[in-house]
């Protein structure tokens, strides 16, 4: 099993950071279903340093989810360093630096995948974060900016030299966004280039897909993002086929965690979005999703889902 600095993982399957989704309840749920490590949503270094209440609330954690990595993003070494110091005061296990987000508003600020075009600046950021925390630091990036500039192997080596204790590589370029074919061959090249753990990411749709990635690339871990939404059992080999009963039980547990850790009626739209994903691809999907979105309160929603068990 992979070890990131002093943090040992009991499963090489890892929950990816997903904006709007990987909040505390979902992270705990994925840990309960076997994820070896869970990642927070992407957190703005500026929001932390300038004390934005909403941003600080994203640092909420609980012993049920450990080990947990908090992912920060930004393009200024000094502000990223200060954000790392703030995050380190919380009971978290790993700090991850996002250098792979392809979203335009992040790229325009020189953060996310834009840093793959500025390796010297990226190196300064990693070094600054490492100096300001006692936690292991990891970096997440892509295979390159586009298919003419596949720089992941050298970027990984730079990250290791700057003090990163693991890297995650999304097997697509910035120009691919979230679609197009993944390139596992680059993951294998990265693995051969560095002496720290390498986590592969991109288009893992089942537990077996993850095993194939590990086998073909030599990666130490496999990160799963969108395919875990509405399917937290993907981290375990115990659920090759998710019956309706398995789906409903997982969703009920998810709703229980939301009720415990969030103000569910304040975030009802977000909760419904999560709930609807549990029935994707099932024969009753359209009807169930309509009932979910018709619910006018959290209590009505949870009553509806509980009724499905009978």
Count CA within 13 A, CB hemisphere, residue 14.
31
Instruction: Give the E-state strand segments of 23-124 in sequence order.
Output: 37-44, 68-73, 94-99
Question: Does 51 have pLDDT greater than 80?
Answer: yes
Whether residue 80 sits in one domain with residue 175: yes
What is the Cα Rg of the chain in Å? 19
Say what the pTM is: 0.95
For the segment 184-201, what is each residue's pLDDT rounded down to a tens digit?
A: 999 999 999 999 999 999
> Of 226, 227, 198, which is closest to residue 213 (Cα–Cα)?
198
For the segment 147-174, what is each residue's pLDDT rounded down to a tens digit?
A: 899 999 999 999 999 999 999 999 999 8
Please count the other Cβ atoms lying within 10 Å of the Cβ belonging to residue 163. 18
Contact 156, 192 (CB under 8 A): no
Query: How many domains does the chain divide into?
Result: 2
Last residue of a domain, one of 210, 235, 260: 235
Whether residue 128 sits in one domain with residue 217: yes
Active site residue 219: no
Whether residue 251 sits in one domain with residue 106: no
Whether residue 171 sits in one domain with residue 36: yes
Whether residue 133 sits in one domain with residue 46: yes
CA distance 52 to 71: 16
Q: What angle do CA 268, 274, 278 make, to 5 degrees?
A: 135
Whether residue 97 sits in one domain with residue 162: yes
Whether residue 223 sits in one domain with residue 202: yes
Annotated catalytic residue within 30, 45, 101, 219: 101
Quote the domain boundaries for residue 199: 3-235
């Amino acid at each position: 099993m992979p070890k990131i600095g002093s943090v040992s993982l009991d499963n090489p399957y890892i929950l990816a950071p997903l904006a709007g989704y990987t909040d505390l309840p979902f992270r705990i749920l994925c840990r309960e279903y076997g994820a070896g490590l869970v990642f927070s949503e992407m957190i703005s270094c500026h929001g932390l340093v300038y004390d934005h209440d909403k941003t600080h609330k994203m640092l909420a954690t609980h012993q049920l989810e450990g080990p947990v990595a908090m992912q920060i993003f930004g393009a200024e070494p000094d502000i990223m360093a200060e954000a790392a110091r703030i995050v380190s005061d919380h009971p978290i296990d790993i700090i991850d630096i996002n250098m792979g987000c392809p979203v335009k508003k992040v790229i325009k600020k020189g953060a996310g995948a834009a840093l793959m075009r500025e390796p010297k600046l990226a190196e300064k950021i990693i070094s600054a974060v490492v100096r300001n925390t006692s936690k292991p630091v990891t970096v997440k990036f892509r295979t390159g900016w586009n298919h003419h500039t596949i720089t992941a192997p050298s970027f990984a080596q730079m990250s290791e030299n700057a003090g990163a204790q693991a890297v995650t590589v999304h097997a697509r370029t910035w120009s691919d966004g979230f679609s197009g074919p993944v390139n596992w061959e680059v993951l294998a090249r990265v693995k051969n280039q560095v002496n720290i753990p390498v986590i592969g990411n991109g288009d893992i749709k089942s537990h077996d897909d993850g095993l194939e990635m590990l086998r073909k690339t030599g990666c130490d871990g496999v990160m799963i993002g969108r395919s875990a939404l509405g399917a937290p059992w993907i981290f375990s080999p115990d659920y090759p086929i998710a019956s309706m009963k398995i789906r409903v039980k997982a969703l009920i547990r998810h709703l229980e965690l939301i009720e415990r850790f969030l103000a569910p009626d304040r975030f009802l739209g977000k909760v419904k979005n999560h709930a609807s994903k549990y029935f994707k691809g099932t024969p009753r999907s359209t009807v169930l999703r309509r009932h979910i979105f018709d619910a006018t309160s959290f209590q009505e929603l949870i009553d509806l889902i509980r009724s499905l068990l009978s």
